[in-house]
Amino acid sequence: MAIIVDIVNMVVEVLGIMTLTLIVVYVTYLVTNFIKKIISKQTKIKCLCKHEYEPYSAFYHFNGIEYDFKCRKCGKNVSVDTVTRDKFKWIEDTETEDGA
């Protein structure tokens, strides 16, 4: 009786190992086909959000103004820095003093 239980137990283990192996091979096959498809068609995985930015904040500093925008769909932040002419004024002043 114990021999039959051992044989059944071994058969169940072998079937489990074969099933797991088939699942791993199938998943590997799907992933490699997906990668080949991307490479062959040169398709890109794109972000689903088409950004719609809204003004979020403005930071005033001595060089100009830094505006922050935030996408209302996904929350991505973008900052734009505006430079005033005064930022480079001290360079021009030192050049004229040295050259004159």
Residue 99 in domain = no
Check residues 96 and 70 and name the one with the higher pLDDT: 70
Task: Note whether 8 and 41 are same-domain residues.
Answer: yes
Task: Note whether 2 and 22 are same-domain residues.
Answer: yes
Residue 89 in domain = no
Task: Note whether 17 and 54 are same-domain residues.
Answer: no
- pLDDT, position 24: 95
Tens digit of each residue's pLDDT (9 = 90 or more) over 10-58: 999 999 999 999 999 999 999 988 888 777 766 555 556 777 878 877 7
Task: Note whether 3 and 42 are same-domain residues.
Answer: yes
Task: Note whether 52 and 37 are same-domain residues.
Answer: no
Q: How many domains does the chain have?
A: 2
Going across the sheet that includes 64-71, the strands are: 53-61, 64-71, 77-83
Half-sphere exposure of 54 (CA within 13 A, CB side): 5
- pLDDT, position 26: 95
Tens digit of each residue's pLDDT (9 = 90 or more) over 61-92: 766 778 888 888 778 888 877 766 655 555 55
Residue burial 44-77, b: 16+ Cβ < 10 Å; e: rest? eeeeeeeeebeeeeeeeeeeeeebebbbeeeeee
Domain that holds residue 35: 1-46
Task: Note whether 22 and 62 are same-domain residues.
Answer: no
Task: Note whether 35 and 69 are same-domain residues.
Answer: no
